[in-house]
Chain A
Amino acid sequence: MLAKEIERVGIPTVYVTSLPTVATMIGANRIVRGPAITHPFGLDTEERRRIVERALDLLETEVEPNTVWEIAP
């Protein structure tokens, strides 16, 4: 819900979660699928960097509603 409310005031928001279907259902628009519930940004700093960069790329991308990106393009 947070994603939608923040987007409602016009701030682009990217939601990193391992549950993209739930994110879609509740209306988030920029979603990156993280690897696991316990560590959506991965385990090590390298993986984390890849995921954050992907998320940042998505912030700079025009999207359709409920767009889900995997970590690897």
Chain B
Amino acid sequence: MRAVHYVNQFFAGLGGEDKAETPPTRLEGPVGPGRGLTAELGDVEIVATLACGDDYFAEHEEDALAALLGYLDDDHPDVLVAGPAFGSGRYGYACGTLAAAAAERGIPAVAAMHPENPGVDAAGKAYVVPTAVNVAGMRDALPRLGRLASALAAGRELGGPDEEGYLPRGLRRNYFAEQTGAERAIELLLGKLAGETRTEVGGGLDRVEPPAPVPDLSETLVALVTEAGCVPQGNPDRLPSVRAQGWFRYDLNGEETLAAARYESVHGGFDVTLANEDPNRLVPLDTARELEREGRIGRLHDAFYTTTGNGTPVVTATRFGREIAGELREAGVGAVLLSGT
């Protein structure tokens, strides 16, 4: 049986961050961690390794997928294995997205990464084996990944997540429990009253508790973020107006206002005429500066973040959010004013 293994530029041995723009490429047989993985795959042989730069995938997702799926079509493997990506967000996203696309085309696929990696959501119905957050977890991850990959290649019907060692995908399947729903409700309630809250199904998307209020804005670094697609005039980085694949950070350089001559909105989901007349209507820089001068705000972060919240798939928006959040936290930002539409 045949497997194809997907890795990023680093694990393929092509280079580090400097090679993150490498377009998809195909290498013969197993490479890097693929060699360790081979030992765990039993009858399954890694016939090829596909590699792609993390930044290339992030910035040219459609093209990258097309190329990679093309290679997969040529190699027609019994299973696609991607990663392990551990905690690396861009790598994890690429693994998850590719695995999901392969699964859609009927190629069983399994990726491996840390459970909090945004790539988990991207994997859809493909399987994800949980790993540690960094490469120190490689020795632990490979046998588990290999075992699941072999099972998929062999076409064996899989049991539940706990049994087989993959993260729950969220696919719901009916079953007959030992107890009636009524009895289970009593168990859940008594458990909750005793301090242990459990649920058989979660509602909504995952929830985040509201952070505690800002103790004193006059002592706080405040940042402006927008989903309204506000960009420098001419959209130099080509932020798409719909299904945004990226977000951008623009330095304010002490500017007091978003002048119409210098900024515009490229959001494709609403009429941007009013916003273009005065971009402060979307990102209230002029007001924020005024309040900074008056001391209501301690300091305004000297850059703003922008994307277009229009048709962006949940998983992508989540990834943007995590990346922006990471930068904001690094910069010591204590509060954010986010403009939607």
Contact = CB atoms under 8 A, between A and B. Distances in A.
Do A and B come into direct contact in the complex, CB within 8 Å?
yes
Given A6-B225, A39-B275, A45-B286, A26 B336 contact: no
A52 B337 contact: yes
Question: Which has the most chain B C-beta neighbours within 10 Å: A23, A25, A59, A60?
Answer: A59
Nearest to B221: A11
Interface stretch (B71-79, B103-111, B313-321): B313-321
Report, as a range, how many residues of chain B touch the other chain.
35 or more
A6 B281 contact: no
B241 interface: no
A68 interface: no
Contact of B210 (A18, A41, A63): A63
A19 B288 CA distance: 22
B265 to A, nearest CB: 10
Interface residues of A, number: 49
A26 B225 CA distance: 17
B333 interface: yes
A41 B317 contact: no
Given A12-B214, A39-B281, A52-B287, A6 B338 contact: yes
A38 B325 contact: no
A6 to B, nearest CB: 5
Interface of A: 1-19, 23, 25-27, 29-30, 34, 37-43, 45, 48-49, 51-53, 55-56, 59-65, 67
